[in-house]
């Protein structure tokens, strides 16, 4: 998908983009299938489900069920949610997916499940669709937040949600993560193969409850000798702006103002070691 000249989410709402023709194309394209398969496997790995136990998973933006198939192969159960009916109809006809089930819903309207339903959630190339407004009454910020809140509600405590997506830019990453954080999730990005343009894959790993260290990212040579910076990706940053702004009335602030006024050609006092100093208390 990274090779598309125009990102599909820029062209319009997902339920229109993934119409019958596009859905059929999508399902039968072996290249897409292979990549989706690989990413779903990695997402499942990042979920870190307890070994040997069957999990009940949510597949968000399941499409024609490629990622759902991976869930079944790993011995788990699933419910898939997607906004494109054409995709779901193809998924339902797939005999391999018979033991799971599908629900037609828009992520931004919230997950229609009761609290504590699932042991985890995965989502392959879906969440970026939420970052665009397709109608005047849609606010991506609100939709993301509402989505994360409802997802937080329907996940069991201590479970994870892993989202694979193709971030457009840093702002988009920040937006998604700040909304996830607001909804109560902990976590951050795991970037696999950060040096390789084509193989690079971004996974947003969200956790309910408790701060747990992020799983390690994969690299080209597969060794563990990676630097901390790569692995940490971007975490939620608190008050990142605070450091930039100079306190009003401070010496630095006065000097900046003086410089500004010199530039404007105004008449200003000369620089002095006394400016900005505190006066002595009056006797």
Partner 1 sequence: MKLFVHNFMSSRFLKNVTVGYPLELTVKQFVEKDIEFDRENMIVMLDKIQYEALLVAAAAVNQSDRIPAEKPPKWDELSDDQLKQFHHLLMNIDVVDGELICPETKTVFPIKDGIPNMLKVDAEK
The site for partner 1 (CB under 8 A) is made up of 53-56, 77, 79, 83, 85, 88-89, 92, 98-99, 101-106, 109-115, 117-118, 137, 146, 150, 153-154
Q: Nearest approach, Cβ of 85 to partner 1 (angstroms)?
A: 7
3-class SS at 207?
Answer: strand
Between residues 69 and 192, which has the closer beta carbon with respect to partner 1?
A: 69
Q: Nearest approach, Cβ of 28 to partner 1 (angstroms)?
A: 21
Q: Nearest approach, Cβ of 12 to partner 1 (angstroms)?
A: 16
Separation CA 137–CA 161 (nearest Å): 28
In 9-85, beta strands by DSSP E? 56-60, 77-82
Q: Nearest approach, Cβ of 86 to partner 1 (angstroms)?
A: 11
Distances (CA, A) of 89 to 24, 31, 62, 92: 10, 21, 12, 5
Q: Nearest approach, Cβ of 54 to partner 1 (angstroms)?
A: 5
Between residues 24 and 103, which has the closer beta carbon with respect to partner 1?
A: 103
Evaluate whether 182 touches 142 at the Cβ level (below 8 Å).
Answer: no
Between residues 21 and 135, which has the closer beta carbon with respect to partner 1?
A: 135
Between residues 108 and 233, which has the closer beta carbon with respect to partner 1?
A: 108
Separation CA 109–CA 99 (nearest Å): 26
Distances (CA, A) of 160 to 28, 154, 165, 196: 30, 11, 16, 27
Between residues 47 and 79, which has the closer beta carbon with respect to partner 1?
A: 79
């Amino acid at each position: 998908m990274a090779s598309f000249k125009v990102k599909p989410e820029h062209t319009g709402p997902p339920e229109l983009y993934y119409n019958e023709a596009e859905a059929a194309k999508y399902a039968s394209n072996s290249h897409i299938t292979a990549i989706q398969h690989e990413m779903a496997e990695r997402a499942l790995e990042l979920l870190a489900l307890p070994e040997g136990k069957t999990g009940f998973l949510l597949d968000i933006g399941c499409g024609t069920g490629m990622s759902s198939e991976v869930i079944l192969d790993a011995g788990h159960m699933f419910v898939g949610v997607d906004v494109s009916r054409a995709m779901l109809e193809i998924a339902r006809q797939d005999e391999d997916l018979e033991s799971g089930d599908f629900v037609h819903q828009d992520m931004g309207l919230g997950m229609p499940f009761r609290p504590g339903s699932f042991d985890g959630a995965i989502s392959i190339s879906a969440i970026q669709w939420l970052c665009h407004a397709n109608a005047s009454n849609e606010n991506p910020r609100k939709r993301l937040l509402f989505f994360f809140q409802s997802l937080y509600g329907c996940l069991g405590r201590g479970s994870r949600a892993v989202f694979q997506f193709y971030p457009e830019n840093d702002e988009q990453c920040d937006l998604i993560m700040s909304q996830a954080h607001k909804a109560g999730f902990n976590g951050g990005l795991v970037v696999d193969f950060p040096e390789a343009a084509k193989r690079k894959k971004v996974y947003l790993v969200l956790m309910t409850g408790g701060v747990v260290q992020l799983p390690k990212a994969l690299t080209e040579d597969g060794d563990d000798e990676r630097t901390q910076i790569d692995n940490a990706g971007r975490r939620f940053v608190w008050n990142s702006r605070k450091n930039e702004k100079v306190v009003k009335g401070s010496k630095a602030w006065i000097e900046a103002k003086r410089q500004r006024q010199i530039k404007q050609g105004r008449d200003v006092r000369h620089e002095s070691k006394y400016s900005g100093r505190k006066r002595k208390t009056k006797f």
